[in-house]
Amino acid sequence: MNQAKRKEFFDRLAKAIPEPKTELRYSTPFELLIAVVLSAQATDKSVNKATEKLFAVANTPESILELGEEKLKSYIKTIGLYNSKAANIIKLCNLLVKKPNSRVPQTREELEALPGVGRKTANVVLNTAFGHDTIAVDTHIFRVANRTGLARGKTVLEVEKKLEKFVPKEHKHDAHHLLILHGRYTCIARKPRCQSCVIEDLCEYKGKILE
């Protein structure tokens, strides 16, 4: 896919998805950080159900520490890997309370130094909470980038680097959510909805389903 096609690709997605944003519910950068940590190998829907109850009683590093690890588990036990996630969240909160005003860091390096936070989670927080032009490559973006020919790569990092290079400047900030939402609802894993896809004619996928 050449750069002219890539621009058209994102122009069309932006028109089809006028409000590209996360489906995780949050009101502060800290709430988003916790939600994203919980979302690893879990659906946004399941995370939202858990955090709705959790954040009503504890939505700061201090209040989660006061809650304690065992009580925290009771709020997130419906989410996969909740034991390790609870342990990481407690460790993460212990580090945050040592920072001025317990603020969530705004650099990738500082975020990745937090327990349970990898490159993908850091990129999501930087993009969604702080407005950085980062692209967190999750399973949806990896699939869409490779399937369409937008930015092919064998690893998540390779795809991320290509997207950073190829995504038109005007779409850099929204690219993350445009691709996730397109992958979640149209370019789905098993039977992509090619017949209703706004970029079908630009796509290089050889297994298109157009019936």
d(CA 109, CA 105): 9
Amino acid 28 reads T
Residue 186: how many CA atoms within 13 Å on its side-chain side? 22
Q: Where are the alpha helices (DSSP H) in the chain?
A: 3-16, 29-38, 44-57, 61-67, 69-76, 82-96, 108-112, 119-130, 139-148, 156-166, 172-185
Tell me which residue of 118, 138, 131 sits closest to 37, measured CA to CA: 118
**Catalytic site residue from 91, 138, 172, 201:** 138
Q: What is the DSSP string of 85-122?
A: HHHHHHHHHHHHTTSGGGPPP-SHHHHHTSTT--HHHH
Spot the catalytic one: 85, 120, 172, 201.
Answer: 120
174 is catalytic: no
Is 11 catalytic? The answer is no
Radius of gyration of the chain (CA): 18
Amino acid code (one letter) for 107: T
User: What residues are annotated to the active site?
Assistant: 120, 138
